[in-house]
Amino acid sequence: MLRSLAALLLVSTAATAQDYRQRLPQDEVIYFVLPDRFDNADPANDRGGLSGDRLKTGYDPTSKGFYHGGDLKGLMRRLPYIQSLGATAIWVAPIFTNKPVQGGPGQESAGYHGYWITDFEHVDPHFGTDAEFKALVDAAHARGMKVYMDIVVNHTADVIQFRECVGKPECAYRSEADYPYQRRGGVDGAGINAGFAGPGVQTAANFARLTDPNYAYTVFVPAAERSVKSPAWLNDPLLYHNRGNSTFAGESSTKGDFVGLDDVMTENPRVVQGMIDIFGGWIDRFKVDGYRIDTARHVNPEFWQAFVPAMLKRAEANGIPHFHIFGEVAYDTLDVGLLARHSVVDKLPGVLDFATRMAILQTMTGTQEPNAWDKLVLGDALYASGDATAEQLPTFISNHDSGRIAWYIQKALPKASPDEVLARVRLAHAMLLTLRGVPTIYAGDEQGFVGHGNDQDARQDQFASRVASYNDQPLLGTRATTAQANFDQTHPLYREIATLAKLRVATPALTRGSTILRARQDTPGLLAISRIDPATGREVLLAFNSSDRPLTAAVQVETRSTRFTTLAGACAPRASAPGSVSITLPAFGYAVCAAEDR
């Protein structure tokens, strides 16, 4: 189906042919990987240097909720595989030292994903060493590839406990109105923290008056964990909100524990400077190229307004002029305003583009809401710098939290054959790799991974897995399962993504071009979008058919676009008339057509 220009197929070494530091964020194609689930090159670190059973070491390769053994050495030895896919940047899930196991009796799972941090300054021994991470970054840079770290500021591992919640499955959020900071245990409690005006007054003098953390709950830390966090200042309970579990609404969204994880009081100037020191240090030591920020919407805006400029300044001092920062602000909706708000109020340079994911997902499952693509394209104006911000938003169709695009298609269309699901997944990737933003491929999608849902059910091993609920499912486009290693560069999805990725980075209209919505339907059918080259003004027409029947339609183009070169699919060689071209697409087909001036 894909017929890229022969010259574009020779771009596989383009990343090394130029100074990777000079590429803008929107010039990248990102590959997102959880090290534990990618490749295991060093079985000696599988237990992270710990001894005992899985509740001590966190290691159980037969359970989807425990460590499986993937490591940084495995990721480094697969750099050729990732680069051949067309990726120019690697987003690595958190590699910091985690609490190995959390959860009550019968509910235990491990920190294999990296989001339960105790030591913010060093690599988790399950993944390797600081030196091995440095070797990975250096090896990627030698190939002209960037490395983005996944970081966490909102919370740490679950260490702080509350007396009132011992033995209970849930520790409900206690609001500031019912449990004010200047009373112990409620409005009728004894006076404490005299003069503390609350975390809204973000000065050192105000926080000096916060001396007792027992305003909402009675706080304690088990003796064995009183010094477990690093840097040492993170062990002080006064630097946390201590109000119980977030409901993810209202004040609890930024002050509640994220499913029990200790919620850092990011309003405190001590915390702000401490986090700047931590993550500025990672830039100094390893020269990484960007940060993806976990749970960014659950941190107060003032923190980001201080943190982001500090990181950009630190990166600039290290010779990194285009440091890419984007926050996770998870909203499963097409309401672009909810995402854009965080670029305006928080002043985050970018956010993960959940709205584009939703538009593609709805298109691929035939569930488009009215005017979905109008909302998406017109909504770009809402971001802080309009299109300039929108162009650097990482776009995605699958991830480790939300699940894989193939699973959503199978769930929505249970009668669809494997071939039809594969065709829809291919079309979804074609949209991802040609629309505006920074396309982000989730490891395993290129091998036809499907999964049984989100979260742990979408975190399959790419090396040979021992998890029964992963291995019971055939993959798309192959007879393989996850019971064997899946790094097949002949897989149809791998080849499709690789060719599209190389086409993208070789075509400025696709990396940096503006967007014009040409045609769309609220039912399965035609979607047509023009991308305009910012230097020449020439357009590249994108046409997608989300229906199971072929279609032919007239599509508006610029009047100067009189002739077309086929970059993918099949394009009419000439416009039908000034301003109109005929597009013919097979079922679930697409075309990429580069206009030439008369």
Catalytic residue among 39, 267, 328, 533: 328
Active site residue 294: yes
Contacts 24+ apart (CB under 8 A), 185-191: 185/214, 185/215, 185/216, 185/217, 185/218
Report angle CA 20, 22, 23 to the nearest 5 degrees. Answer: 70
Beta strands in 87-208 (DSSP E): 89-92, 96-98, 101-102, 109-110, 117-123, 146-151, 161-162
Residues in the chain: 598
Instruction: Provide the residue type at 344 as one letter.
Output: V
Q: Residue 542 — left, alpha, or beta (φ > 0 → left; ψ -120 to 50 → alpha)?
A: beta
Residues 6 or more apart in contact with residue 219 via CB below 8 angstroms: 160, 161, 162, 163, 213, 237, 242
Is residue 63 within 8 Å of residue 370, measured between CB atoms?
no
Catalytic residue among 39, 46, 294, 539: 294
Query: For residue 350, what are the CA distances in angstroms to 288, 296, 383, 548?
Result: 17, 11, 9, 35
Is residue 27 within 8 Å of residue 88, measured between CB atoms?
yes
Query: For residue 190, what are the CA distances in angstroms to 112, 180, 181, 198, 215?
Result: 42, 11, 11, 17, 9
Query: For residue 558, what are the CA distances in angstroms to 380, 515, 521, 574, 590?
Result: 21, 13, 21, 13, 20
Residues 6 or more apart in contact with residue 537 via CB below 8 angstroms: none
Buried b (16+ CB within 10 A) or exposed e, 524-563: bbbbbbbbbbeeeebbbbbbbbbbeeebebebebbeebbb
How many CA within 13 A on the CB side of residue 48?
Answer: 31
Active site residue 176: no
| Owner of token pair 């030895």 | 77
Say how many C-beta atoms besides its own lie within 10 A of residue 98's C-beta.
Answer: 26
Nearest Cα residue to 345 out of 327, 323, 324, 321 = 327
Is residue 447 within 8 Å of residue 475, measured between CB atoms?
yes
What is the Cα–Cα distance from 529 to 374, expressed in whole angstroms? 11
Please identify every residue annotated as catalytic. Answer: 294, 328
